Amino acid sequence: MSAATGTNPAPAIETKPLVAAAWMMGAVASFTSMAIAGRAVSLELDTFEIMGWRSIFGVAIMVTVISLRGLWGVINLRRPELHLARNICHFTAQNLWFYAIFTIPLAQVFALEFTAPLWALVLSRLFLGEKLTGPRAVAAILGFAGILLVTRPGSAPITPGLVSAAACAVGFALTYVFTKKLTAIAHTACILFWMTLSQTVFGFVCAGIDGDIALPSAAAVPWIAVIGAAGLAAHFCIASALRVAPATLVMPFDFLRLPVIAVVGLLLYDEPIGALVIAGAALILSGNYLNIRAEARRRQTPRPGAPGP
């Protein structure tokens, strides 16, 4: 269309790799601190209580940010069923993730969590009608082969923690799918506001089913604050990195979460780093990177009738 009208394509956004790398280091630090803080409060709070209390901090942060930036005008509740579906999926996945980090080595949790984008490839075909291309299929196969190496079904017991880590990836993938639908009609601040508010309600309702909601101790409150702030900070850092660099440059930095958390698990919790976990993680990350590269090439390929470079 632009060729026919004589208009020039929009100028490319300047890539700032060092700035993007700095933002992604912030994301890695946020995710890592979230796991450490979750372990710290696991002995006195269950996962529902953690989600409830941490979401209170999340709501306070979102209200402050929205107020300071004057974004209350973008907060609405169009398509409430999409918000509800997204937030139920995220709440479920986050609870499974916290349970997993309490019960199995952190490297296993993060390795299995990285299959979420690969699950999203499959689920996007069902929910969004997106094609499962050859590169996407290969990426998914590599990822699922990695799952087999990490979990080793038949040669090692399949524990509830492993099942939770694998299931949380599916929940996060569904969250991605519903988020993609929501971004077409809702501002990011709107999505995050309803997420933190609804998960506060979900957390305390689920925590109160047994008639006992534990109050965090004075020692646990700072850890809860870390969990609440780190969750929002991680996604803010990733979004900020993607604004100044393409996904092919940004997302490989996210893969650093795995070796970082493996070293943290070894140093803080004496968790050994198994060779099969490393091999499985390498397959999962390779599948992710293959998909990122394929998507980048697809976006750069001129469509029929579109202007060339």
Share of the chain above pLDDT 90, in %: 46
Q: How many angstroms separate the CA atoms of 195 and 193, rounded?
A: 5
Amino acid at the residue 130: E
Exposed, middle or buried, 211 (CB in 10 Å: 0-12/13-18/19+)? exposed
Exposed, middle or buried, 1 (CB in 10 Å: 0-12/13-18/19+)? exposed
If pLDDT is split at 50, 70 and 90, which confidence band does 309 have? very low
- Segments making up each domain of the chain, as ranges: 15-299
Exposed, middle or buried, 54 (CB in 10 Å: 0-12/13-18/19+)? buried
Name which residue leads in pLDDT, 244 or 11. Answer: 244
If pLDDT is split at 50, 70 and 90, which confidence band does 6 have? very low
The confidence score (pLDDT) of residue 225 equals: 94
Q: Is the dihedral of CA 227, 229, 231, 233 positive or negative?
A: negative
If pLDDT is split at 50, 70 and 90, which confidence band does 1 have? very low
pTM of the model: 0.82
Q: How many angstroms separate the CA atoms of 266 and 272, rounded?
A: 6
Tell me the average pLDDT across 69-94.
94
3-state class of 93 per DSSP?
helix
3-state class of 140 per DSSP?
helix
Alpha-carbon separation of residue 299 from 29, 117, 138 (angstroms):
30, 18, 19
Amino acid at the residue 309: P
Q: Is the pLDDT of residue 4 over 50?
A: no
Which has the minimum average pLDDT: 18-32, 144-158, 220-234? Answer: 144-158
Contact 273, 46 (CB under 8 A): no
Q: Is the pLDDT of residue 303 over 50?
A: no
